[in-house]
């Protein structure tokens, strides 16, 4: 089909660029510079979707971001985007769009039956109908979701790339209409760093849709082109087209989404699809324009009913006739401008129906002079037409404007252009917590005081005349630049001359009367996207809702993807009128980011797959890989988990590793343990205050185990700390707590004990740690070192020695987490792999066995050693763990006072115990609940849970640690673990040390 509705000339389009596209399978052509909506209209297509609830036919309604109806699905999986505004989609060759919310097709839609049954769908319908019984909700939901479907999200992974970037500027100007351009020019000329962001791909804003506007005696768009050229020539200015400022956060932090390649037919490899800008601006100028409001009259939603300003834009910017015979319905002067432009484009104006009693105003008078048929003090009381409007009826109103007594005159048309006034686009101002005030004369909310360094200018500041926009823009730009430290240079340029009329006078009738009562014989939609009518609002009010926020949620008005851009003010007006309150008393609902929907992809950006989170590997990582280790994540670290040999499953491998450590010799990579170097004359005092036990008498060359609490008395971390010198310690922490422990120390040093002479440095990554454990550990170490005395007297358990190991300077701790004689050899990271290999070679004769974290867990559990974060969860204190032996009674330490709070002494606190299952072969799942009495079904009184559970080859049975209420007093008692699979496992509470309770092996 040819572009029957394309004007022969004019418009901001490129006729040399003919572009093919499809909609619902039909093939069409448009031009470069078209939006999908303008190209559809050029082909005579208005009907593009079905409404959300009633599935009524809906057409293209607007020309910009305020579009409530024309939501389409673009492209095919995986490159498919739901809920895209046809008015914002730039036409590209091959674009494939589909209508949404219809089944099986747009023309024959089963859901349209909802419209016939609409009495069954009042506001609050879901709340009222699907409340009971609760068990049925899942069933209901399935059908509701299907019926109220928007577009479909892609099922496959998004193949595109997205970027994030940071930026700073002196002045951010949002919007490149006349006010924004004037502001950007003024700010840029002062030398400020300016970013100008415009969601459209052309600069000019409202000027793009107005043919007759002039600035300084020349066409307004010439001025806009010159302004753009000047801005682009300035080195400190960045013009971002196709970029929407969608969020305005604290301290002038704004987020922008730039659509980089959507409009390109060939998308260059090096460019991301969209780019997220995180921008910090010293000053912001908001020049976001205004949004035209529809009128709320009966059956005001048929395809072919459009905003008057949008009709004007389609005629002037896109050279498209949105119809052949138009009726204009207005309450203000601005629609007359649209009528004149449409007439000039060859559209027959059948009538201008004006709610106002008198036809006054510059555009109205021009239209009257041009001989357009005008019906003043009339209302449109009904519309007809299924997939396109074909007729309206206009009738005179009573003097109050609240009643109509006749059914009115029919007027044939295929286009109804509507204007109900203009609302400043306050979204960003409001997101930035700026105040909002009601302007009675203009019938709209206007920005009040800004809470941040922001200036509103132009139509978004209720300056609706072109000259005012230019003047306000220039002033705001200058002020913003000055506030950012840039004085205007030279003489102030006078604002260029332009006409300065707004849309007044107007008559504010929130609800246009009809010849039938509200809700009968038709629907007065105020909210098109979510299908909410004036009758729904009144029902909500009758049912007792008063707050506009509650009315919003109950009726869902303003809760669509457009966030009620065209509907909110009308909703508030209708509620105000119905409740006899003034509009400001009703107030506005909250504006929230994003201004328009944002692709999920930009939030992820490049932070996906291997870039999602840094991976930390030890110096020996490659060796573990070659040895066939499986790895587990511990925070960002990848730790060797176990080393299966051919044919071994996890159980077999771990059992072998655990056995070998106790039989002869094991080796483990412990490099990930946190290491903090602590130096200074107050180092001992610091440890004394941070750990629960005493530190001052620890000899140089000795180590001590310490328990660290939060001020609430709960266990925070544990580890061994060595005294390397009089004023020098090396603290080790658990792998996951290395950073929090350092932060904990620094906080106390800086905020509570600033007089301390002490310095903490993280050295976790500076050292590789090789732990060797088992009866042959000492023999092996003796082969690797010649300058460290190893006899138990010279180098006892819990001592530290410096020396040479495998020819490398090393620091060796004799500490044990396995219960075996064990040494932790610390060498500079770069030597880690070499020393590991040397140790492996020397250990061959002992059958040295590399073991991973799983075997380590079993070994320590055999000894009843806790793991912070496994046996503790932030609510467990040392007494609960049976570790009162490490808690000093004499000195103060962080968390001490909390241990004497009355709750800490309660006998039914959860305490650490060992658990042995009646059947030694059964290994309880970690997390299993323990009960005293088993009920036939939940709930039953739970006593606690299993925190660690393994099969222990050395004990020859399963073992478990658990936290049980009053557990210390329950030793010997029988408990049951009822499992999810129905099994009920009998077990006994025992002491948590299962192996070598005397610790002889440790000291050997």
Enumerate binding residues for other proteins (CB under 8 A): 249-253, 280, 433, 451, 711-712, 743, 746-747, 750-752, 754, 892, 896-898, 900-902
- Measured from the CB atom, the residue of 493 and 901 that comes closer to other proteins is 901
**Distance of closest approach, residue 611 Cβ to other proteins, in angstroms:** 17
**Distance of closest approach, residue 881 Cβ to other proteins, in angstroms:** 20
- Measured from the CB atom, the residue of 232 and 433 that comes closer to other proteins is 433
Per DSSP, the residues of 331-385 read SSSHHHHHHHHHHHTT-EEEEEEESSSS--SHHHHHHHHTT--EEETEEEEEEE-
Phi, psi of 249 (to 5 degrees): -110, -170
**Distance of closest approach, residue 898 Cβ to other proteins, in angstroms:** 6
**What number of other Cβ atoms are within 10 A of residue 637's Cβ?**
20
**Distance of closest approach, residue 283 Cβ to other proteins, in angstroms:** 13
**Distance of closest approach, residue 250 Cβ to other proteins, in angstroms:** 5
**Distance of closest approach, residue 256 Cβ to other proteins, in angstroms:** 14
**Distance of closest approach, residue 683 Cβ to other proteins, in angstroms:** 18
- Measured from the CB atom, the residue of 371 and 754 that comes closer to other proteins is 754
| Local structure of 696: helix, strand or coil | coil
- Measured from the CB atom, the residue of 791 and 900 that comes closer to other proteins is 900
| Local structure of 243: helix, strand or coil | strand
- Measured from the CB atom, the residue of 125 and 249 that comes closer to other proteins is 249
- Measured from the CB atom, the residue of 430 and 468 that comes closer to other proteins is 430
| Local structure of 469: helix, strand or coil | helix
**Distance of closest approach, residue 742 Cβ to other proteins, in angstroms:** 9
**Distance of closest approach, residue 607 Cβ to other proteins, in angstroms:** 14
Tokens linked to 165: 């970037």
Q: Which residue has the tokens 């709930």?
A: 939
Q: What angle (nearest 5°) sits at the alpha carbon of residue 997, between those of residues 819 and 700?
A: 50
- Measured from the CB atom, the residue of 403 and 750 that comes closer to other proteins is 750
- The set of residues, in sequence order, having a beta carbon less than 8 Å from that of 753 and lying 6+ positions away, is 682, 686, 689
- Measured from the CB atom, the residue of 451 and 906 that comes closer to other proteins is 451
**Distance of closest approach, residue 754 Cβ to other proteins, in angstroms:** 6
**What number of other Cβ atoms are within 10 A of residue 646's Cβ?**
5
Tokens linked to 657: 């590793």
- Measured from the CB atom, the residue of 645 and 897 that comes closer to other proteins is 897
Starting at the edge strand that comes first in sequence, how are the strands of the sheet with 409-412 ordered? Answer: 378-384, 391-396, 409-412
Angle, helices 683-690 vs 738-747, to 10°: value is 110
Distance CA 513, CA 397 (A): 8
CA proximity to 782, closest of 801, 765, 768: 801
Tokens linked to 707: 């328990």
**Beta-ladder partners of 939:** none
| Local structure of 234: helix, strand or coil | coil
**What number of other Cβ atoms are within 10 A of residue 666's Cβ?**
30
**Distance of closest approach, residue 305 Cβ to other proteins, in angstroms:** 42
| Local structure of 784: helix, strand or coil | helix
Per DSSP, the residues of 525-576 read EEETTTTEEHHHHHHHHHTT--SHHHHHHHHTTT-STTTTTTTHHHHHHHHH
CA 224 to chain CA centroid, Å, is 36
Q: How many helices and strands in the chain, by DSSP H and E?
A: 25, 49
Phi, psi of 877 (to 5 degrees): -105, 170
**Distance of closest approach, residue 739 Cβ to other proteins, in angstroms:** 9
- Measured from the CB atom, the residue of 377 and 712 that comes closer to other proteins is 712
Distance CA 830, CA 262 (A): 48
Q: Which residue has the tokens 């009053």?
A: 966
- Measured from the CB atom, the residue of 226 and 604 that comes closer to other proteins is 604
Per DSSP, the residues of 81-109 read EEEEETTTPBP-TTEEEEE-S-SB-SSSB
Q: How far is CA 553 from CA 168, 492, 556, in A?
A: 38, 50, 5
Contact 282, 190 (CB under 8 A): no
- Measured from the CB atom, the residue of 747 and 919 that comes closer to other proteins is 747
**Distance of closest approach, residue 451 Cβ to other proteins, in angstroms:** 6
- Measured from the CB atom, the residue of 248 and 823 that comes closer to other proteins is 248
**Distance of closest approach, residue 747 Cβ to other proteins, in angstroms:** 7
- Measured from the CB atom, the residue of 18 and 590 that comes closer to other proteins is 590
Distance CA 427, CA 802 (A): 66
Q: 141-157 in b/e burial notation, b at 16+ Cβ within 10 A?
A: eeeeeeebeebeeeeee
Distance CA 134, CA 143 (A): 15
- Measured from the CB atom, the residue of 103 and 756 that comes closer to other proteins is 756
**Distance of closest approach, residue 896 Cβ to other proteins, in angstroms:** 7
Start-to-end C-alpha separation, the chain: 94
**Distance of closest approach, residue 752 Cβ to other proteins, in angstroms:** 5
| Local structure of 66: helix, strand or coil | coil
- Measured from the CB atom, the residue of 679 and 898 that comes closer to other proteins is 898
**Distance of closest approach, residue 279 Cβ to other proteins, in angstroms:** 11
Distance CA 118, CA 531 (A): 11
- Measured from the CB atom, the residue of 355 and 708 that comes closer to other proteins is 708
- Measured from the CB atom, the residue of 710 and 882 that comes closer to other proteins is 710
Contact 555, 537 (CB under 8 A): yes
Counting Cβ atoms within 10 Å, is residue 649 exposed (0-12), middle (13-18) or buried (19+)?
A: exposed
Q: How far is CA 642 from CA 534, 654, 716, 921, in A?
A: 67, 6, 27, 22
**Distance of closest approach, residue 710 Cβ to other proteins, in angstroms:** 9
């Amino acid at each position: 089909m040819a572009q029957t509705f394309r004007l022969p000339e004019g418009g901001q389009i490129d006729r040399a660029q003919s572009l093919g596209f499809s909609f619902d399978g039909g093939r069409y052509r448009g031009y470069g510079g078209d939006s999908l909506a303008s190209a559809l209209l050029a082909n005579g297509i208005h009907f593009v979707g079905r409404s959300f609830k009633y599935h009524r036919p809906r057409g293209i309604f607007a020309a910009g971001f305020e579009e409530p109806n024309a939501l389409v699905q673009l492209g095919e999986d995986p490159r498919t985007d739901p809920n895209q505004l046809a008015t914002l989609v730039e036409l590209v060759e091959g674009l494939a769009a589909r209508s949404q919310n219809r089944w099986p097709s747009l023309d024959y839609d089963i859901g349209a039956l909802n419209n016939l049954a609409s009495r069954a769908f009042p506001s609050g319908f879901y709340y009222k109908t699907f409340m009971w019984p609760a068990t049925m909700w899942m069933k209901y939901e399935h059908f509701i979701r299907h019926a109220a479907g928007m577009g479909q999200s892609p099922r496959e992974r998004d193949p595109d790339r997205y970027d994030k970037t940071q930026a700073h500027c002196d002045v951010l100007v949002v919007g490149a209409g006349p006010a924004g351009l004037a502001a950007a020019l003024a700010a840029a000329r002062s030398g400020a760093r300016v970013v100008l962001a415009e969601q459209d791909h052309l600069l000019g804003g409202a000027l793009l849709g107005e043919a007759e506007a002039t600035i300084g005696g020349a066409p307004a768009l010439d001025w806009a082109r010159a302004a753009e050229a000047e801005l682009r020539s300035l080195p400190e200015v960045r013009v971002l087209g196709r970029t929407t400022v969608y969020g305005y956060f604290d301290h002038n932090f704004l987020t922008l989404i730039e659509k980089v390649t959507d409009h390109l037919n060939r998308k260059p490899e090096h460019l991301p699809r969209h780019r997220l800008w995180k921008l910090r601006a010293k000053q912001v100028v908001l020049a976001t324009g205004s949004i035209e409001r529809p009128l709320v009259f009966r059956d005001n939603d048929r395809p072919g009913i459009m905003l008057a300003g949008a009709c004007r834009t389609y005629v002037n910017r896109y050279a498209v006739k949105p119809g052949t015979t138009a009726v204009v319905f207005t309450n203000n002067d601005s629609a007359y401008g649209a009528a004149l432009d449409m007439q000039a484009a060859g559209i027959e104006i059948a009538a201008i129906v004006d709610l106002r009693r008198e036809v006054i105003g510059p555009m109205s008078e021009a239209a009257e002079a041009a001989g357009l048929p005008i019906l003043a003090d009339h209302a449109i009381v009904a519309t007809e037409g299924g997939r396109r409007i074909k007729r309206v009826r206009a009738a005179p109103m009573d003097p109050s404007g609240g009643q109509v007594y006749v059914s009115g005159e029919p007027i044939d048309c295929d286009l109804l252009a509507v204007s109900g006034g203009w609302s400043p686009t306050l979204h960003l101002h409001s997101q930035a917590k700026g105040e909002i005030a009601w302007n009675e004369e203009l019938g709209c909310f206007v920005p009040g005081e800004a809470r941040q360094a922001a200036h509103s200018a132009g139509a978004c500041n209720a300056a609706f005349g072109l000259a005012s926009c230019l003047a306000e823009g220039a002033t705001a730009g200058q002020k913003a630049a000055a506030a950012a430290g840039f004085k205007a240079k030279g003489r102030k340029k006078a604002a260029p001359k332009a006409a300065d009329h707004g849309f007044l006078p107007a008559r504010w009738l929130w609800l246009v009367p009809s010849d039938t009562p509200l809700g009968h014989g038709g629907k007065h939609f105020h909210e098109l996207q979510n299908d909410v009518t004036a009758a729904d609002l009144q029902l909500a009010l009758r049912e007792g809702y008063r707050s506009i926020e509650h009315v919003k949620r109950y009726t869902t008005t303003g809760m669509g993807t457009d966030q009620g851009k065209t509907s909110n003010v009308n909703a508030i007006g209708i509620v105000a009128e119905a409740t006899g309150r003034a509009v400001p008393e009703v107030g506005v609902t909250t504006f929230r980011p994003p201004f328009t929907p944002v692709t999920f992809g930009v939030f992820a950006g490049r932070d996906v797959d291997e870039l999602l989170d840094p991976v930390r590997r030890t110096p020996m990582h490659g060796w573990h890989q070659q040895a066939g280790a499986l790895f587990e994540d511990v925070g960002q670290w990848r730790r060797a988990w176990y080393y299966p040999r051919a044919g071994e499953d996890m159980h077999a491998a771990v059992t072998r590793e655990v056995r070998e450590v106790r039989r002869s010799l094991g080796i483990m990579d412990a490099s990930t343990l946190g290491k903090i170097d602590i130096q200074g004359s107050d180092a001992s005092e610091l440890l004394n205050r941070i750990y629960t036990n005493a530190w001052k008498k620890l000899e140089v060359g000795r180590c001590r185990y310490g328990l660290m609490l939060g001020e609430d008395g709960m266990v925070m971390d544990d580890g061994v700390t060595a005294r390397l010198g009089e004023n020098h310690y090396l603290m080790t922490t658990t792998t996951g707590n290395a950073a929090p422990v350092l932060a904990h120390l620094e906080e106390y040093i800086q905020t509570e004990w600033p007089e301390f002479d002490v310095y903490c440095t993280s050295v976790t990554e500076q050292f590789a740690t090789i732990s060797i454990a088992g009866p042959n550990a000492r023999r092996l170490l003796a082969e690797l070192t010649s300058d460290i005395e190893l006899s138990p007297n010279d180098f006892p358990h819990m001592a530290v020695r410096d020396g040479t190991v495998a020819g490398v300077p090393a620091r060796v701790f004799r500490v044990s987490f396995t219960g075996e004689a064990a040494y932790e050899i610390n060498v500079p990271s770069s030597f880690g792999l070499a020393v590991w290999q040397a140790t492996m070679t020397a250990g061959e004769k002992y059958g040295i066995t590399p073991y991973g974290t799983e075997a380590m867990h079993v070994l320590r559990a055999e000894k009843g050693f806790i793991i912070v974060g496994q046996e503790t969860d932030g609510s467990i204190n040392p007494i609960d763990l049976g570790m009162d032996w490490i808690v000093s009674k004499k000195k103060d330490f962080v968390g001490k006072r909390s241990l004497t709070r009355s709750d800490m002494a309660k006998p039914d606190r959860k305490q650490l115990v060992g658990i042995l299952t009646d059947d030694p072969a059964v290994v309880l799942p970690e997390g299993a609940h323990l009960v005293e009495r088993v009920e036939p079904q939940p709930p039953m009184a739970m006593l606690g849970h299993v925190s660690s559970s393994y099969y222990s080859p050395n004990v020859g049975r399963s073992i478990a640690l658990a936290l049980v209420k009053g557990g210390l007093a329950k030793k010997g008692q029988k408990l049951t673990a009822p499992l999810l699979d129905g099994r009920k496992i009998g077990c006994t509470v025992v002491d948590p040390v299962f192996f070598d309770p005397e610790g002889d092996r440790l000291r050997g």
